[in-house]
A and B are shown apart, each in its own frame.
Chain A
Amino acid sequence: MASLINQAFKKAKSENRPALLTYTVAGDNTKKKSLEILKSISNYADICELGFPHNTPIADGGQIQTSAYRAINNGIKINDVFSVAKDFKKSKKTKPIILMGYYNMIFQYNENKFIEKCKNVKVDGLIVVDLPYPENKKFSNKCKRKGINFIQLVSPTTSPNRLKKIIKDSHDMIYYISMLSTTGGKLKVVPKKILERYSKIKNQNKSKNVVIGFGITEKTIKSLKKADGLVVGSAICKEISNSIKKRQNPVTNVTNIVKRLKKKIT
């Protein structure tokens, strides 16, 4: 049977649009609120990425750092992250959820236990920012055996030779980092160029779903709608920060952003 991730891409394709992927941090700004946000935005998003926060995130820019620190300061623990994912999947059985974070958290939890737990709470995929290919081979195989998608990242610096190997080792989805940047950077490459590189990846194996992330906002999303999927993270985290500052309900505000993002690519 096709994975929920694959099905989500298929559905988007049948509607002639890219899949919309959101990124929020578990526990931002509280455990309860982050679950509410997740449930609400998943009415518009096709796939939800859920960050497990780390306090030394070396590849994240200011917005996501702020969300992560906020969640940690509010006491979120890794088991809370799993329980958010579990509660989410209870009410949204077919909506794929991808956990995303840094390897030390998995290492301390224990690789096998972590994967087992993911399976139990019905997590569909994993992104580990600082576990690149080929170091991730063993881990990604373990994921595959448990029916969990390990999502490989590729970037503008990935050489053609390396790209081939990574695609070969990938599961259903590949994440293309649009530019040299941490998360939350301004899109500093013209969309045409990003899509050119995207096509090079896509053309190597059409059966893989390739998403583009980094620098995608309400302003830029439309220009990249040719992709299989588009990831928006920092723009959402920033809205949570703004809502808190303005003492407004982040659930409503974030949902509105995701609604608008969806509209722009439909």
Chain B
Amino acid sequence: MKLKKGISLIDQHDQNGFWGNKFGGSFIPETLKKPIEDLTNEFKKLRKDKKFIKKRNFYFKNYIGTPTSFVKLNNLSNHLGGAQIWAKVVSEANGGAHKIYNATVHALICKAMGKKYIVGDTGAGYAGKMLSMAAKKFGLKCKIFMGAKDIKRQKPNCDAMKKNGAEIVPVYSGSQTLVDAVSECMRYWVSNCDNTHMCVGSTVGPNIFVKICGWSTAQISRELKVQLKSKFKKIPNKIKLINCVGGGSSAYGFWSEFIDYDKKQIELIGVEAGGPKKSKLHAAPLSRGAKLGILHGAAAYCCQNNEGQINETESISAGLDYPSVSPIHCFLKDTKRARYTYATDEDALNAYQLVTKLENINPSLEPSHAFAEAIKIAPKLSKDTIIIVNSCGDAKKDRDILRERLGKK
């Protein structure tokens, strides 16, 4: 299994949609074949269309607000000693997380296809909130599928969705989290694909959704590349890009421009959700050695039992609480281009406390997993090592959990 150079990772799949002959594909019911083929053709056309690119860039700049800032975390670096720690503060993007890139692009595609309805899944509520924002902006009717457990624990984002006029459809089946929301959203699309566009909230699902999402979040690393050159005059020699991984959309977006670099120069580190320290459950298929399986239309490493029933997962972070992961990250793992590890709930909470005590940023529980890894490795590294953490979400949505777990703030 090998990566190709000079070709975007989202395009390195074979004609059946598999990366490395193994990951991805489109395992879908017959009814969705046609809508997915239509979407595939439309996306192929649009990404080459200068007018569409111009439009995308316009909204990225004027609506999402690019570039998001790239800052050194001096206090945290000094406190830990060792490597320099920097953050790409993607949570500055409109709405407070990277999910806005994918949502905006999907809304534009939906418009281009002449559809008036858009539906999507959400876990942390950011994908849903952003889709509701983009739908409102572009005059689309929006439905968001969300697990009942997540509706309770991510209330601020639910309030935002409702304010934007979206309907939240609570999902009560299974573990009542993201995995069930995605299933229910797909079921809805099966029944309404004639007039409705579906957005998958991460780089997961049938091949085309992985591609569209990756194409959208890639904006993050395009910006970072420019920012690195302007801060350091050239791309530094020792970089570590640390990102949390749920489905993997923010990690892919953070890394996509840097895949071709040697890993000795730019190391890519993905941090999954290890769940509560004392629990057997987790949401870390890559770092805890889950087997290949098929979930939501794609073959990927997936937490499951040996019969193929999907396992329940557990994480303090709703956004990472998903049993499978992007086929692109499976490919990066097996080609050894990226390294994957996990942080527990407790690690993430500790990291959140340290970062917010020392710095003027407020990372949500998802990127707090990435900070946990940065905090762990920084002291052992040299001063000229540049650790960059993607601070891809704002902790406002985690208000209730943080209050409960850390006391009054």
Contacts and interface: CB of A to CB of B under 8 A. Distances in A.
B33 A158 contact: yes
B30 A153 contact: yes
Given A59-B29, A108-B304, 7 more contacts: A55-B309, A59-B187, A69-B173, A130-B297, A155-B33, A157-B193, A177-B31
Nearest to B16: A135
A120 interface: no
Contacts of A103: 27, 294
A190 interface: no
Contact of B174 (A55, A78, A133): A55
Contact of A181 (B28, B35, B190, B307): B190
Provide the main secondary structure of the chain A interface: loop
Contacts of B26: 132, 135
A180 B190 contact: yes
B29 A153 contact: yes
B65 interface: no
A182 interface: yes
B10 interface: no
Nearest to A128: B27
Contacts of B306: 108
Interface residues on B, range: 35 or more
A135 B190 contact: no
A149 interface: no
8 contacts: A59-B187, A104-B310, A109-B307, A131-B27, A155-B30, A157-B35, A180-B194, A182-B187
Main secondary structure of the interface of B (DSSP, over half): mixed
A130 B183 contact: no
B25 A135 contact: yes
Query: What 8 pairs between A and B have smallest CB-CB spacing?
Result: A108-B308, A157-B34, A104-B308, A104-B294, A59-B29, A155-B31, A153-B30, A105-B308
B269 interface: no
Given A78-B307, A153-B30, A56 B183 contact: yes
A145 to B, nearest CB: 22
A59 B194 CA distance: 16
Interface of B: 16, 25-35, 173-174, 179, 183, 186-187, 190-194, 291-297, 304, 306-310
Chain A CB count within 10 A is highest, among B294, B304, B306, for: B294
A130 B187 contact: no
Contacts of A60: 187
A61 B310 CA distance: 18
B20 to A, nearest CB: 17
B394 to A, nearest CB: 31
A158 B30 CA distance: 7
A132 B28 contact: yes
Given A58-B186, A65-B173, A72 B31 contact: no
A154 interface: yes
A53 B296 CA distance: 16
A180 B191 contact: yes
Given A131-B27, A154-B30, A107 B293 contact: yes
A159 interface: yes
Given A55-B174, A58-B187, A108-B307, A180 B29 contact: no
B33 A185 contact: no
B308 A54 contact: yes
Contact of A107 (B173, B174, B179, B294): B294
A182 B292 CA distance: 26
A77 interface: yes
Contacts of B33: 132, 155, 157-158, 162
